[in-house]
Every structure is written in structure tokens, then in C-alpha cells.
């Protein structure tokens, strides 16, 4: 029996002419393909993706059979700002007063964080429609802002978010997280066990089909050397913990046949260029469109990612970066102390302790000492595992069984 599913989240990345979409889009699109009616309720204040320019307070658009209800919401440009929090409240206000009578009655409502505030509207929707309520955790708040944002547990805002988080864990009919060990965090917050399901990031048809070649001039200038290349691609910001990457490059200057390549842009790029730009074994390459990321990664011999040593990672990771890396079929070195997943499960790389420059240097030298055939087999294991275990059609099937508790979908 076909059902109606509402996916409610302040931040949603739909498929557009310039983007294949994000995780939420891939999941709801697969749910639509399975025969269900999908209603997405979201805002236009996501400054990380291209969104429609809204003139009205509410705009309903059809995107390839998925109904998206856009709520015009206060914008902000700085993530760590009062305006961002006010934008959260503005979204909730608009969601509360949204005329829902013109929308299909939901059988299940998925509330996807952020923002945590949306769980209140979710509980009201469940009461109104007598439907199931699923709480989806894509980012563990307020733990993230305590561990990585400099907030205190005694901050009134943090205490308020903690109360909302526990409310969501207690009252939702099901809890879904993108991270594999979320159940441990939920147990710590509630003091008892609750069933927690994992539906992680995955790989879509668009990932496989929407691939473009690099301009010849770009490839020649930044990626043409015959040296053993360690590549990091992505945002150059504080959460990416790239100090270790640059320190490792600095420590390995004497290895004339090894080169570190960093591809991307971000708030810290200029500072890193000023400090490390003179290193002979370091290349700063500009950001490329998402469709060219695979072409960049395929030029590397070893791919690198890192995070800070933080309790957030005790519950696991499911990062777009790791998906992209594994899809490129290259071995990976991860500077990471958290709950292991994907890289070790597939055998496509190694974890080294976070913030340990010597460990990164040792891992680079170890990988370089291996034969090209061995590294190719290692990378291929990652891609094969990803396609078998993280395809969005499979993940959606898993999700639907959670939403309807074993009913015929």
C-alpha cells in the first residue's frame, strides 16, 4: 500500500540544474520511485546550495514528482551567529502557521535535524494526524557546538537544546542516525536503551553518471607531476583539522618524490597559503565543481581526510568526503580517533590517531612503499564495498522498513 511521507527539515539540498542533490533528496526520490507520495517541507535559508528565489511566504514546487514546500525564512551568512538561531525560530513559526489542509495527509513524518527546534512541530503534527514520527539525526547537537564550537554545557542555549534533544529521543516512534554508533549517545542521554537505526550517507546514480573531466590547463598546472601525490579535496575550514596535513608536508620536504595537493577553498585557505605556500612539496589548487571532484581524486595516489579529536566522532562518521574518496577507488589515510566505519570495513585504507603528524608521515611512507598493484586493489575494495552497501536504493529500502515497521511498502 502506498503511503504519504513528509520529510521536514530546515536544510534540504534538492536536485537542480547545477547540483545532483544531497542525501535527503536521494532518499525521498527513491521513496517516490517506490510508489510513495512525498512532501518535503523546508526553508530557503541554506546558504551552501543553490535554492529558488522565493517571493511569497510559501511556495510549492514539483521537483521530478516530489512536492517541495518552500518556506521563506530569514537568511544568514555566518554559521556561528545570533541571526542563524533567529532563522531557526522563524522557520518554526512559518511551519506552525503553514496551511497544511492543501497537503496530502501524512502516514509518517520525518523530522530531520538540524534544527532541533523542529521536533516540537513534529510532535504537534503527530498529534494532529495520528501518524508515526521519526527523528533523524544528521548532526549531534548540542554536542557538536560544545566539542567544536566553544560553548559550555552550562550555557542556557545549550541546556535548552539538550532538553529538546532528549525530548526527541524519548517521544519519537523511531530514531534514525547517519552515524553508526548513535545508539551509545542516545543511551547516555536517556539513561536507558532505545532502538536506534543507521541510514548513512550513500552513493547515488548521479554520483556515478554526473562526472566531468578536468580542463586540460587545470590538470596540467596542478596535478600533472609524476610524484607520489597525497590529495585532500574539500573545504579548507576549521572543522577539517588540516593543520596536521600541512605539518606533515612540512616534515617531508626532503622527500623529493612526494607531493601534497590540497584542492578547494575556505576561510582558512589564505592563512595556510601565507604560512606554507613556499613549501616545495605542496600544491594549492582551486576549488572545482562537484562534477569534477572524481577527476581530481583519480589523479592522486593517496587520499587524506582528517577531523579534530572530539567526542562527536565517538559515535561514528558518515561523511560525503569519505563517500567521494571511496568512489574514486584510491587508498585512504584518515586522521581520526572516532568510532571506525566504512574505511576499515571495506579495507580501503587506514586510520591514524588524530592530531598526530608523525603517524601521518609514517602512513604516507608505508603506502608509498607498497606496490602500485597493491594500492590499486586496496582502493578498488573501497569502491566495490561502497556500491554494494551504500547505494541509495538499498538505503531507502532499509529506511522504508523502519518507517512502517515491517508493513508492506
Statement to judge: residues 132 and 217 lie in one domain: no
235 closest CA partner among 271, 269, 207: 269
Statement to judge: residues 15 and 160 lie in one domain: yes
pLDDT at 164 over 70: yes
Q: Please state the rounded mean pLDDT for residues 47-70.
A: 90
The pLDDT value recorded for residue 91 is 97
Contact of 304 with 363, CB cutoff 8 Å: no
Statement to judge: residues 191 and 85 lie in one domain: yes
Q: Please state the rounded mean pLDDT for residues 316-335.
A: 94
Residue span of the structural domain in which 357 resides:
206-389
pLDDT one-digit tens code per residue, 290-300: 889 999 999 99
**Residue 172 lies inside a defined structural domain of this protein:** yes
The pLDDT value recorded for residue 155 is 95
Q: Please state the rounded mean pLDDT for residues 346-359.
A: 96
Q: Please state the rounded mean pLDDT for residues 245-261.
A: 97
Q: What is d(CA 338, CA 37) in angstroms, rounded to the nearest whole number?
A: 38
The pLDDT value recorded for residue 50 is 74
Statement to judge: residues 182 and 245 lie in one domain: no
Statement to judge: residues 188 and 220 lie in one domain: no
pLDDT at 168 over 70: yes
Instruction: Kindly indicate the confidence band of residue 407, based on its pLDDT and cuts at 50, 70 and 90.
Output: low
Q: Is the peptide bond before 12 cis (omega within 30 degrees of 0)?
A: no
pLDDT at 48 over 70: no
As a whole number, the mean pLDDT across the chain is: 94
The pLDDT value recorded for residue 3 is 96
Q: Please state the rounded mean pLDDT for residues 345-373.
A: 97
Structural domain total, the chain: 2
The pLDDT value recorded for residue 49 is 74
Q: What is d(CA 255, CA 240) in angstroms, rounded to the nearest whole number?
A: 25
Q: How far from chain centre, in Å, is Cα 74?
A: 23
The dihedral through the CA atoms of 151, 334, 204, 400 has a sign that is negative
Q: What is d(CA 282, CA 297) in angstroms, rounded to the nearest whole number?
A: 16
Query: Between 134 and 290, whose confidence is greater?
Result: 134
Q: What CATH number should be reported for the domain holding residue 267?
A: 3.40.50.2000
Percent over 90 (pLDDT), the chain:
85
The pLDDT value recorded for residue 409 is 45
Helix/strand/coil (H, E, C) string of 282-350? Answer: EEEECCCCHHHHHHHHCCCCEEEEECCCCHHHHHCCCCHHHHHHHHCCCCEEEECCCCCCCHHHHCCEE
pLDDT one-digit tens code per residue, 64-108: 999 999 999 999 887 778 899 999 999 999 999 999 999 999 999
Statement to judge: residues 397 and 303 lie in one domain: no
Amino acid at each position: 500500500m502506498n503511503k504519504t511521507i513528509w520529510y521536514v527539515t530546515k536544510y534540504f539540498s534538492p536536485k537542480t540544474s547545477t547540483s545532483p542533490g544531497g542525501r535527503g533528496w536521494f532518499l525521498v526520490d527513491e521513496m517516490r520511485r517506490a510508489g510513495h507520495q512525498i512532501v518535503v517541507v523546508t526553508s530557503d535559508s541554506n546558504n551552501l546550495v543553490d535554492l529558488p528565489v522565493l517571493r511569497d511566504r510559501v511556495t510549492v514546487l514539483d521537483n521530478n514528482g516530489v512536492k517541495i514546500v518552500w518556506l521563506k525564512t530569514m537568511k544568514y551568512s555566518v554559521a556561528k551567529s545570533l541571526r542563524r538561531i533567529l532563522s531557526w525560530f522563524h522557520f518554526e513559526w512559518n511551519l506552525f502557521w503553514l496551511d497544511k489542509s492543501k497537503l496530502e495527509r501524512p502516514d509518517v513524518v520525518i523530522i530531520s535535524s538540524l534544527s532541533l527546534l523542529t521536533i516540537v512541530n513534529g510532535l504537534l503534527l503527530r498529534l494532529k494526524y495520528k501518524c508515526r514520527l521519526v527523528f533523524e539525526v544528521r548532526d549531534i547537537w548540542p554536542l557538536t557546538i560544545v566539542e567544536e564550537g566553544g560553548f559550555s554545557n552550562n550555557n542556557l542555549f545549550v541546556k535548552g537544546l539538550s532538553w529538546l534533544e532528549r525530548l526527541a529521543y524519548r517521544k519519537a516512534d523511531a530514531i534514525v542516525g547517519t552515524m553508526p554508533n548513535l545508539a551509545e549517545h542516545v543511551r547516555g542521554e536517556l539513561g536507558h536503551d532505545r532502538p536506534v537505526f543507521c541510514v548513512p550517507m550513500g552513493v547515488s546514480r548521479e554520483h556515478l553518471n554526473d562526472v566531468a573531466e578536468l580542463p586540460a590547463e587545470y590538470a596540467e598546472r596542478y596535478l600533472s607531476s609524476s610524484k607520489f601525490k597525497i590529495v585532500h579535496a574539500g573545504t579548507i575550514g576549521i572543522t577539517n583539522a588540516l593543520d596536521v596535513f600541512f605539518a606533515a608536508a612540512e616534515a617531508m620536504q626532503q622527500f623529493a618524490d612526494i607531493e601534497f595537493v590540497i584542492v578547494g577553498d575556505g576561510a582558512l585557505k589564505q592563512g595556510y597559503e601565507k604560512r606554507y605556500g613556499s613549501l616545495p612539496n605542496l600544491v594549492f589548487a582551486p576549488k572545482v565543481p562537484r562534477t569534477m571532484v572524481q577527476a581530481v581524486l583519480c589523479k592522486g595516489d593517496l587520499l587524506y581526510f582528517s577531523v579534530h579529536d572530539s567526542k562527536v566522532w565517538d559515535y561514528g562518521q558518515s561523511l560525503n568526503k569519505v563517500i567521494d574518496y571511496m568512489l574514486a577507488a584510491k587508498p585512504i589515510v584518515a586522521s581520526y580517533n572516532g568510532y571506525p566505519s566504512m574505511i576499515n570495513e571495506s579495507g580501503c585504507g587506514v586510520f591514524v590517531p588524530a592530531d598526530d603528524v608523525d603517524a601521518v608521515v609514517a602512513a604516507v611512507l608505508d603506502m608509498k612503499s607498497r606496490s602500485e598493484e597493491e594500492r590499486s586493489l586496496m582502493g578498488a575494495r573501497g569502491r566495490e564495498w561502497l556500491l554494494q552497501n551504500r547505494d541509495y536504493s538499498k538505503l531507502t529500502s532499509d529506511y522504508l522498513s523502519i518507517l512502517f515497521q515491517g508493513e508492506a511498502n
